[in-house]
Amino acid sequence: MLNYLYALVEFECRLALLAVGLDPGLGWAHRDAPYRDSAALGVLEALRPEVEAHLLQLLQSRTFPRREFAELPSGQVRLMPDLARTLASSLPIWEGAAATQAAWVARVLALSTGVGIRVSSAVTRGARGKGHGTMGRGSRKGSGRPRFPSSCRECGVALSSIDRQYCDECLPRFKDERTGRLVAAAREVLAEMRASSDDPARSPEAVAKRVATNAERRESALAWEGQNPGPHDPELFRREIAPSLQNLTLPQMMRATGLSSAYCWRIRRGDRVPHPMYWSALRSVDPEDGYLRG
């Protein structure tokens, strides 16, 4: 944020020097270089305390959420548009401050020549229809930081809080779309992993674990069937137990049955009917606390 503010102030210093008839590239406090305007940087030095005080006041007045910044793969951090606009709203402050400093520099240089040199007034910028002061600038009255109202990124309606990005109507649709994108990305990664020779699910340890688990469940099922002879109608499960599963979470179903998250998800969605030995446990789960009913 400090770098961005310095860039804004350097821009104002460059224009202020041009307004009083000075070349921004011919400096006195900085060595001349083809890649920078040394004179503008010289004027900027006089404004550094004001810039830093402005930023410190801003840091004390609000909290900055993570979404206002973006980190590039190179490690560089960039400002998102909303925060950049907030900082850029201080341009009228730096326009006036840079004009004052540029006029003072011009007078000092003019007096040092020993001849009568007329110095242009930087006040003629903008206020009389010249310069960039007519480019949608706000009023210079008051040095406080304007707080622009946020608008919904989807429909454009004005929002009550500057920290919000979507209105109440668009937010559910945004969440659904985001969830869909995350699910699609997860499925794509999962498909790539399964197609790879390094798929963790195909490692010898994972295969051995699945074989042991399936064997244990088959033995448990055979033992349960010996004690609870059928028939066990799957329609009974679909009619009396499956509807209540919509109120349960996957962790609750997993704790009650010992089945995997993926299999519990298929059960709740109606794609699978579990073995009858799990029916009683699923029927007994209390959705309020996740424990089995007494």
What pLDDT does 49 receive? 94
Instruction: Round to whole Å and give the CA distance between 56 and 293.
Output: 57
Sequence spans of domains, the chain: 2-141, 149-193
Cα 33 from chain centroid (whole Å): 38
Calculate mean pLDDT across residues 217-228.
88
List Cβ neighbours of 291 (8 Å cut-off, separation of 6 or more): 285
Which pLDDT tens digit goes with each residue over 223-280?
Answer: 988 888 878 888 989 998 889 888 888 888 888 888 888 889 889 888 889 999 998 8
290: left (phi over 0), alpha (psi -120 to 50) or beta: left
Q: What share of the chain is helix, strand, coil (3-state, %, to 5)?
A: 60, 5, 40
Instruction: For 15-32, write each residue's pLDDT tens digit.
Output: 999 998 888 888 877 777
Token pair 């040199």 in the structure block, residue: 117
Read off the pTM: 0.42
| Residue 177 scores a pLDDT above 70 | yes
- Cβ neighbours for 15, distance < 8 A, ≥ 6 positions apart: 95, 98, 125, 131, 132
Tens-digit pLDDT profile for residues 70-111: 888 888 888 999 899 999 999 999 999 999 999 888 888 888
DSSP letter for each residue of 114-147: SS--PPPPGGGBTTTSBTTTTTT----S--SPP-
Residue 186 to residues 151, 161, 180, 182, 183: CA-CA distances in angstroms? 31, 33, 10, 6, 5
Regarding predicted confidence, which is higher, 256 or 193?
256
Report which secondary-structure segment, H or E, holds 78. Answer: strand 77-79
* pLDDT tens column, 106-150: 888 888 776 655 666 555 444 444 444 434 444 444 444 445 556
